[in-house]
Amino acid sequence: MNDIMRSKTSTQLFQYWNLIRGDRELPRRDEIEPSAIRTLLPELFILERDSFASIKFRLAGTHVCALFGQELRGQQFGTLWFGTQAGRTLQVSTQVMARHVPVMLSAIALTEDRRELEIEALLLPLASNEGHSDRILGSLSPLSRPYWLHAAPVSGLDVRASECSIRIGRRRS
């Protein structure tokens, strides 16, 4: 999966997730140690599935919120995406949790005045203490840093590149 990632944040987060999961399909959420990934935190988020099967932001880093010009905690993940992609990202997020499969999405972030920015979104499943996969650790990383970044909020994301799902098997010792 490292071969298809273009963002340093995505690569480092995936390596960390892979390290803490060990020989299991996915790590538990209580194994995430923020201090171990402190330089990545501004571009990270945690999604959770609620009792209505919605996928919402539990936490969102400062750069993720600044990209959209608002606090994202409690908002549905699908609201970041244009049109029918909202439903599709709900399906993808649900599958990340159900199948324990990381997914990377390549998208274009669009501002109101039609500025574009390439974005990479990495979705990594997390297990609860009971072993149920009900959260996602993710990153949302711009692939460049234009002068207007965080000054002109993004109004939505458009998946233009195909999503890449990577089945991660158990490690063999």
pLDDT digits (tens, 9 = 90+) for 14-55: 999 999 999 999 999 999 999 999 999 999 999 999 878 789
Q: State if pTM tops 0.85.
A: yes
Q: How confident is the model at residue 63 (pLDDT cuts 50, 70, 90)?
A: very high
> How many angstroms from the chain centroid is the CA of residue 154?
16
Which pLDDT score is estimated for 173?
37
Higher pLDDT, 81 or 150: 81
| pLDDT, averaged across the chain | 88
Each residue's pLDDT tens digit, 134-169:
999 999 999 998 888 878 899 999 987 544 544 444
> Do 9 and 43 touch, CB atoms closer than 8 A?
yes
Q: What is the pLDDT averaged over residues 129-133? A: 85
For residue 6, is pLDDT > 90?
A: no
Question: For a pLDDT cut of 90, what percent of the chain falls above it?
Answer: 69
Q: Give the DSSP per-residue string, 109-170.
A: EEETT--EEEEEEEEEEEE-TTS-EEEEEEEEEESS--TTTTTS-EEEEEE-SPPEE---PP
Beta carbons within 8 Å of 95's beta carbon, 6+ residues apart: 101, 103, 165
Tokens of 13: 């987060």
